[in-house]
Amino acid sequence: MRHPADPSDAVSVSEPTAGTALRATHVANAASASGSTLAWRSAVAVFLTFAFAYFLSALVRAVTATLAPTLAQEFALQARDLGLLAGGYFLGFAAMQLPLGRWLDRHGPRKVSLGFLGVAVLGCLVFSQAMGFAGLLAGRVLCGAGVSACLMAPLTGYRRWLEPTAQMRANSWMLMTGSLGMVASTLPVQWALPLVGWRPLFWALAGLIALAMLLIALRVPAWRAALPEQGATGGDAVGDTLGDVAPPAGYRMVWRHPYFQRLAPLAFCVYGGMVAVQTLWAGPWMQQVAGYTPLQAATGLFWINVSMLCTFWSWGMLSPWLLRRGWDANRLMLWGLPLSLLVLLCTVLAGPRAGGTAWALFCMASSFVSLSQPALALAFVPALAGRALSAFNLVIFAGVFVVQWGIGLAVDAFAALGWGTAASFRAAMAVYLACNVVAYAWFVLQPRRHNAKQTAHP
């Protein structure tokens, strides 16, 4: 049996129907489950539980874009302050990724999620009581740290509990629920602000996160820790099948993996930038460049997030069909990501004529890079999956922090040179476009041996 890091590792494909996706995969592979995959009913229950928690984490993450005008007015915040405030969430998030990976591999998704979500509850309460920028920033950092396990914990569990095709679908549909959380952070929040204010909103979020903790405690299965090391790379067949053999401690194997190195610039610039735009800078662009009112900008963000919800749903449905026809993650990113570069170039050139539709197209085109996460997970043995995914997530959210704050700094810098607001935003986005071009060129120019290929079984 080939181990998952083998470049020719096979990914099976089941029928692309939403209601039976997880069930079909588990039934078809029951004979080879080796006791570690979940029964389909349990798998669906676990997925829905984690999806609820991830929905809330995405809502907490994206709500800054909707609240930005309110917070800027109440606390007299500048563009760089908004960038740092939004980036503070991702700073806390990124700071936890390396310890998170080790804890996930050792203690499992349930225990780790419960501990982290408790910090998120505290962060929401701190943010709700903030009397100045320092309090807001502290609350956002705590929120970022607290929800940092909401995607990595389930993806680590799916690497052991689900078959490969179900992993691909579960990844896309987890991102879909994240988009649903972002949808909830736009118009619903905008409508609620005049009625309840932004502080009670964070009290409600704290209560909902506590509810998610209860569901995780009741629904997510216990974790079987890896056995002592029996080989440096996990090439042992038993370890490959069950994920029970512990690779060497630490992240050295992850950082040095050629496929990780090939994907890292895309994760930092393209993936991180997509999230940065979706969760912050699309809103200010629509208001300060395209001339939208706050309600129009919230409506634009709403439709951006709806478009991403539909996009990730489609990826979950179509990825097995595409894989069966030879379009694996590497090939899709190779041919799909230039669309993202083209849309961003057109947006910069269009300036005030580019509004919510342009940013929706940019985020949809950038979603090709989301295929890198399940592809990377399948390149590592299950006992290393937590560290591999968390290290990759660290790169992504370090990129989010840098892009969010960097765009704010660039806008202020160009404004200090005497440029107008619209021109400053366009120049900042042009700099970001150049970074994306370099990241894509790195991906294209790396040798083919850096690929982690997937092939489909009919």
pLDDT the model gives residue 247:
58
Tell me which amino acid residue 404 is: Q
Q: What is the 3-state secondary structure (H, E, C) of the chain?
A: CCCCCCCCCEEECCCCCHHHHHHHHHHHCHHHCCCCCCCHHHHHHHHHHHHHHHHHHHHHHHHHHHHHHHHHHHHCCCHHHHHHHHHHHHHHHHHCHHHHHHHHHHHCHHHHHHHHHHHHHHHHHHHHCCCCHHHHHHHHHHHHHHCCCCCHHHHHHHHHHCCHHHHHHHHHHHHHHHHHHHHHCCHHHHHHHHHHCHHHHHHHHHHHHHHHHHHHHHHCCCCCCCECCCCCCCCCHHHHHHCCECCCCCCHHHHCCHHHHHHHHHHHHHHHHHHHHHHHHHHHHHHHCCCCCHHHHHHHHHHHHHHHHHHHHHHHHHHHHHHHCCCCHHHHHHHHHHHHHHHHHHHHHHHHHCCHHHHHHHHHHHHHHHHHHHHHHCCCCHHHHHHHHHHHHHHHHHHHHHHHHHHHHHHHHHHHCCCCHHHHHHHHHHHHHHHHHHHHHHHHHCCHHHCCCCEEEC
Tell me which amino acid residue 12 is: S
Reading the block at residue 288, the tokens are 């300060």
CA separation for the pair 210, 207 (Å, rounded): 5
Using left for φ > 0, alpha for ψ between -120 and 50, and beta otherwise, residue 447 falls in beta
pLDDT the model gives residue 450:
52
CA separation for the pair 377, 388 (Å, rounded): 7
Tell me which amino acid residue 455 is: T
Task: Show me where the domains of the chain are located.
Answer: 37-222+245-453
Predicted TM-score of the model (pTM): 0.76
pLDDT tens per residue across span 86-127 = 778 878 888 898 899 989 888 899 999 999 999 999 999 999
pLDDT the model gives residue 338:
98
- Round the CA-based radius of gyration of the chain to a whole number and report it: 21
Q: What is the mean pLDDT of each run of 10 residues along the chain (458 residues)?
A: 38 37 38 57 92 95 83 85 82 88 89 96 95 93 94 89 80 90 85 89 95 95 63 36 54 91 96 90 94 88 89 89 84 96 98 96 96 86 85 89 90 95 97 98 79 47
Reading the block at residue 218, the tokens are 């009741």
CA separation for the pair 138, 322 (Å, rounded): 44
Q: How far is CA 358 from CA 276, 304, 348, in A?
A: 15, 9, 10
455 strand-pairing partners: 10
* Domain 37-222+245-453: CATH architecture, name and number where available: Up-down Bundle (1.20)
pLDDT tens per residue across span 363-420 = 999 999 999 988 888 888 877 888 999 899 889 988 988 998 899 999 999 999 999 9
CA separation for the pair 89, 61 (Å, rounded): 7
pLDDT the model gives residue 342:
98
Contact 298, 429 (CB under 8 A): no
